[in-house]
Amino acid sequence: MSVNSMPGHPGGPAGGGRMKNAVQDRQWLAEHPVSLQRVAALFRPHLGSVLAVVLLIAASSIIGLAQPFIVRELIDVAIPQSDIRFLVLGAGGLVAIALATAVLEVLQTWRATLMGRPRDAPVANRALHAPAKAIAGIFHQLAIRRRAIPADQ
């Protein structure tokens, strides 16, 4: 049941409008408290996904912690000693860290997106298609203009 469909809620019946401001929100919650058990029950079906997202965030953070230590070693050891091998390994490590955290962030976003959709709904939605659709439109326009301008000009 949405907040706006609750009888007596300032937003009115379902589809009747939104809350006017935070004061009305606080007033509503003061008059109709929500128990922690009720909130926790909403997350129970998604417990695995929530834990997966939390673990991905933690892994990304832990991997990201290595970056300043590598930079310190590069500045304090590799550069002053002109150790090219160590410098290349450190730079490769920084690239690997950036790549790993990017992959983990994509997995985290994907996992969080799956949490909010019904089980039978398609994974991709309009918001995920919008950037690809915009890029496809740009390429389409470029192709049209390319055909309109002769190659010898």
**pLDDT value for 14:** 45
One pLDDT digit (tens) per residue for the chain, 153 residues = 444 445 555 554 444 445 467 888 888 888 888 888 888 888 888 788 888 888 999 999 999 999 999 999 999 999 999 999 999 999 999 999 999 999 999 988 888 887 766 655 555 555 555 556 666 666 666 666 666 665 555
Quick one: tokens of 88? 């290349």
**pLDDT value for 1:** 47
Helix (H, G, I), strand (E, B) or coil at 118: coil
Quick one: tokens of 93? 């490590």
**pLDDT value for 77:** 93
Nearest to 111 by CA among 51, 25, 22, 38: 51
Quick one: tokens of 69? 């230590």
Helix (H, G, I), strand (E, B) or coil at 125: coil
19 phi/psi in degrees, rounded to 5: -60, 140
**pLDDT value for 83:** 92
Nearest to 55 by CA among 111, 10, 13, 5: 111
Count of C-beta atoms within a 10 Å radius of residue 9: 19
Alpha-carbon distance of 115 to 126, in angstroms, equals: 16
